[in-house]
Structure 1
């Protein structure tokens, strides 16, 4: 059983109002107690209110309820497939946020759907034939800057260029191509919209200052700009 399936199973046990110990969980899933400690911390990070009862074990906070959402088997399968695709992303922050979201989503699957989704999970493989190993860990932060209209300062390195340039930008939108995320932003240095590969941003800082919504449109952007790889 992989970690995500184990986390969902632990949450299901806790939802049943049981008090479970780390040793009991370790024996159940054939892992170490240290691994169970990490699993509990992972669930807590995802927002699950787990209470530690000294000398007794773990339980859920009284009154905690998972949203009453029901998924069909096809919808659950689509989410499992999306998770495999998401885990091919080169951005660590995106994978982390997506997998933590899936912990919450899977916790509301009916038992039969959950069992089938775990079965399907073991029967899907996504091969990545791209050899480029450049990765990033800022996608989730950049997305917040887009939706909250925050200025961002970046140090940027173009492809095949050893120079690093400082830019103050207004992040407007993003798209993905060839498993790479491209940020479209108004660049104050160039006084125009520019496309930046997120994995080539060397350093970034989201500012508290906000900018006016430029009402960005992909259709208008592609009419006036020709995308060049950076």
Structure 2
């Protein structure tokens, strides 16, 4: 990216937040802080009223307005691609809001770009393999976001699958996580006096209360994630397999914590990071005797026990 384009992009970035840190700009464009300072001075010399708060960041004067931003075809295409995935990662309310935003983006594009996007729209599909599961009208994504922004306590009716009990909770939300194909609310539960993970599709009712709470959300969320990492042990795993087998598992390996691979002679050495040795051993069993376990040794023991149990079962029958 040349400097003129970068200056324009920095100006656009300054419009996205109340205050933008110099480090955020440096990270985005992979430049030094010294270069950021020079670019900000160049924008100021060009007549852009940029304010600075020591130790915090840069901001645009409230009275300064810019003409509407024009999207490039590449940027609009990327947003369209995201729109194809949104319905599978959210609920109908969020999907409708995103589609409305996409219409606004299309409305400011040139005619030839609109035609290109229309062609692309019909040529891109997302197949998840679980299309028979209907999309819910709401899993409260919008309400939870509002509660996070305003630091409001949520009153929820939550169905716990492990004991099949529906309970009511007052919780202080600190973040949203998406993993294992579901959205999760991370919040401080007043009933349990501890942080808890609530799956959104198990929330039966949700109400934003007038009660507020005082927490630094970014700090509380980061601390929660760090604690989770410490509490859940992950095992480093290394295996050797043949090249033909490595091609067979090109898709499935990512479900088991694949890190990297290296070809050594006729074998492929693969490394994984996985929290469940038993689950990993079951996967290896599907590859019969084509896998050599380098470490951990305990994985061999688990496999041997599984094989012995299978042999005993079928010998009896």
TM-score by length of 2: 0.47
**Runs of 4+ residues deviating >3 angstroms:** 130-136, 214-219
Gaps of at least 5 residues in structure 2 are 1-66, 233-317
Q: Please list, as runs of the form range in 1=range in 2, the aligned pairs for 1:32-51 lying within 5 A after superposition.
A: none
1:179-205 deviations in whole A, cap 9, x for unaligned?
311111111111111111111100011
Q: Is the 8 A contact 1:182 1:195 kept in 2?
A: yes
Distance (whole Å) between structure 1 residues aligned to residue 76 and residue 195 of structure 2: 39
Distance (whole Å) between structure 2 residues aligned to residue 181 and residue 93 of structure 1: 15
Alpha-carbon distance change, 219 to 210 in structure 1, aligned in 2, over 3 angstroms: closer
Following superposition, the deviation at residue 133 of structure 1 comes to 5.1
Gaps of at least 5 residues in structure 1 are 1-66
1:72-126 deviations in whole A, cap 9, x for unaligned?
1110110100000102234122112111222222211221111111111111011
Which has the larger helix fraction? 2
* RCO comparison, higher one (Cα < 8 Å, 6+): 1
Alpha-carbon distance change, 107 to 85 in structure 1, aligned in 2, over 3 angstroms: same
Matched residues, number? 161
Q: Is the 8 A contact 1:136 1:198 kept in 2?
A: no
Structure with larger Rg: 2
Q: Residue 76 of structure 1 aligns with which residue?
A: 76
Following superposition, the deviation at residue 166 of structure 1 comes to 0.8
Q: Please list, as runs of the form range in 1=range in 2, the aligned pairs for 1:16-35 lying within 5 A after superposition.
A: none
SS of match in other structure, 2:89: coil
Q: Residue 85 of structure 1 aligns with which residue?
A: 85
Distance (whole Å) between structure 1 residues aligned to residue 202 and residue 83 of structure 2: 25
Q: Please list, as runs of the form range in 1=range in 2, the aligned pairs for 1:55-204 lying within 5 A after superposition.
A: 68-130=68-130, 135=136, 137=138, 138-204=140-206
Distance (whole Å) between structure 1 residues aligned to residue 211 and residue 71 of structure 2: 41
SS of match in other structure, 2:207: strand
1:144-173 deviations in whole A, cap 9, x for unaligned?
111111111000012243210110011111
SS of match in other structure, 1:125: coil
Distance (whole Å) between structure 1 residues aligned to residue 153 and residue 137 of structure 2: 19
Determine which of 219, 222, 226 is the counterpart of 1:223: 226
TM-score by length of 1: 0.64
**RMSD value, Cα:** 2.1
SS of match in other structure, 2:123: coil
Following superposition, the deviation at residue 214 of structure 1 comes to 3.5
SS of match in other structure, 2:88: coil
